[in-house]
Amino acid sequence: MKQKNSSVLQFLKQIDFDWRDIHTYIILLSAPVLLTIYRYHAYPGFFTADFDFGLAADQNLRINQFIRFFGLFFMLPAVYIKFVMHRSLKDYGFGLGNIKTGLKLLIFLIPVVFIAIYFAADMPDVRSEYPLAKSLLQEQNHLLFYEIGYVVFYYIAWEFYFRGFLLFGLKDRFGAFNAILIQTISSCLVHIGKPEGEIIGSIIVGILFGIIALRTKSIWYVFILHALIGVLTDLFIIY
């Protein structure tokens, strides 16, 4: 048994495994693990709704999808940060950070987002993809409820995981720009199956939002921009 353990330790040394980096390894592995779980257990066509909100069937399913996304990409990382790493969520961009810089960026970028999405919403491939719940094209009685669920459960979790947990969790170990690229690669994979232009855009936006998150030391400014992109896309297509 001793010899076997010694062989294992020797092998770990050969591949540069270091127990002091265990949190880094877990953060890195969380991306393929959580993305796989999301794809096969929280994506329409692979699960039945847990909660009935009295909405049209596709709207109800999408809200349930957003809730599952929130559990995977917000709750699990937050619990790991607080109770395993014993760190503050603020260390992972959950605080307001540099408010002055953040507000300046929002003042400049929000009009850019409005203009870009106004034109993008006319593209056939975008209109075929959004809104995710197609029944919203016919009836909008619960549109506000749907969009609030979209923003709260989906976009907060998205930014906390990719621009928070991954980005801030890896920057000290791999350097700022490498961490930006890692979270960009991971977030891009979620877009597989979306329109080609959106996937290409997710790479550009991933890098830009990563830079903004690090510059402001917060996820909230990119959250506002990202949520705005999603909601405006729906609204410009519907109306």
178-227: per-residue pLDDT in tens? 999 999 999 999 998 888 989 999 999 999 999 999 999 999 999 999 99
Burial class of residue 14, CB neighbours in 10 A (0-12, 13-18, 19+): exposed
pLDDT above 60 (res 3): no
Q: What is the CA radius of gyration of the chain?
A: 20
pLDDT in tens, 145-185: 999 999 999 999 999 999 999 999 999 999 999 999 999 99
Q: Is residue 132 within 8 Å of 149, Cβ to Cβ? A: no
pLDDT in tens, 24-42: 999 999 999 999 999 999 9
| pLDDT for position 104 | 98
> Whole-angstrom Cα distance, residue 72 to residue 205?
22
Task: Using a pLDDT cut of 90, give the percent of the chain over it.
Answer: 87
113 is written with which tokens?
């987002």
**Residues 6+ positions from 120 with CB-CB distance below 8 Å:** 126, 197, 233
> Whole-angstrom Cα distance, residue 168 to residue 183?
10
| pLDDT for position 45 | 87
> Whole-angstrom Cα distance, residue 34 to residue 95?
24
Q: Name the pLDDT band for 12 (thresholds 50, 70, 90).
A: low
Can you say how many angstroms the Cα of residue 92 is from the centroid of all Cα atoms in its chain? Answer: 14
pLDDT in tens, 32-75: 999 999 999 999 889 999 999 999 999 999 999 999 999 999 99
pLDDT above 90 (res 137): yes
> Whole-angstrom Cα distance, residue 168 to residue 210?
10
pLDDT above 60 (res 132): yes
Q: Name the pLDDT band for 14 (thresholds 50, 70, 90).
A: confident
Residue type, 122: D
Mean pLDDT of the chain: 94
Q: What angle do CA 207, 213, 218 make, to 5 degrees?
A: 160
226-231 own/partner pairs: CB under 8 Å, 24+ apart: 226/155, 226/158, 226/159, 227/150, 227/151, 227/155, 228/110, 228/113, 228/114, 228/117, 229/113, 229/117, 230/150, 230/151, 230/154, 230/155, 231/147, 231/150, 231/151
Q: What stretches of 110-227 adopt beta strand conformation (E)?
A: none
Helix 176-190 to helix 22-41 angle (10° resolution) is 10
Q: What angle do CA 140, 191, 91 make, to 5 degrees?
A: 95
Number of H helices, E strands in the chain: 12, 0
For the beta carbon of residue 201, count every other beta carbon within 10 angstroms.
17
